[in-house]
Amino acid sequence: MLDLEGETALLVGGGTVALRRAATLLTAGLTVRVVAPELLPELAALNIEIIQRPFELGDLIGVRLVVACTGNADVNDEVTRLARAAGLLINHAGRAEAGNLRFPAVLERGGVSVSISTGAELPMLAQALREKVALCLPAELPIPTWTSQRDAALLLSGEAKQVAIRDLRAQIRTAVGL
């Protein structure tokens, strides 16, 4: 999990993968720029910058994250090579192992974020596991209350601190069904 809010992401490609990734990156608070000769009309409807032409090396200037998601493996490979050489985070949509960034299946519920990656590039497995975790995670959790309890416990000393932390741990475990 990275906090890249306010950073710029470059999507090279204008198809369905670019649309899905643009939505993910916008939700994470990034500014999104798309470079592609052709793009889905749904992309143009998003709050993103669109440059309608083929990728150029200069497109990497000023970005922190790149997604190579064209329909052309050679273009994706070249974008990935150049982005890695520039020290950028890069996701290669066709060959995840070529990049240094993966998009996990994410579940957000009750103030908790759970990210799941298989490490074997099986997004269907990660998605299924996200669905399974969703069945187990309560819809609401009293995170602010628990945070206050933790902060108060940390101000204690000795046995009182240990008891307060043990009690908080028990509350949390009960709330999540353990």
CB 97 within 8 A of CB 43: no
Q: What angle do CA 78, 50, 63 make, to 5 degrees?
A: 55
Q: Which residues of the chain have pLDDT under 70?
A: 120
d(CA 92, CA 66): 9
Q: Please give the span between the terminal C-alpha atoms of the chain, in angstroms, as a whole number.
A: 25
H or E element at residue 109: strand 105-109
Q: Looking at the chain, which residues constitute the CATH 3.40.50.720 domain(s)?
A: 8-103
Q: Are 52 and 67 in contact (CB under 8 A)?
A: no
Rounded Cα distance between 87 and 152, Å, is: 42
Nearest CA among 53, 102, 103, 59 for reference residue 79: 59
Give residue 170's pLDDT.
95
The pLDDT assigned to 120 comes to 62
The hierarchical CATH code for the domain 8-103 is: 3.40.50.720
What is the CA angle 170-171-177, rounded to 5? 90
138 residue type, one letter: P
Taking the CB of residue 6, how many other CB atoms lie within 10 A of it? Answer: 9
Q: What is the pTM of this model?
A: 0.79
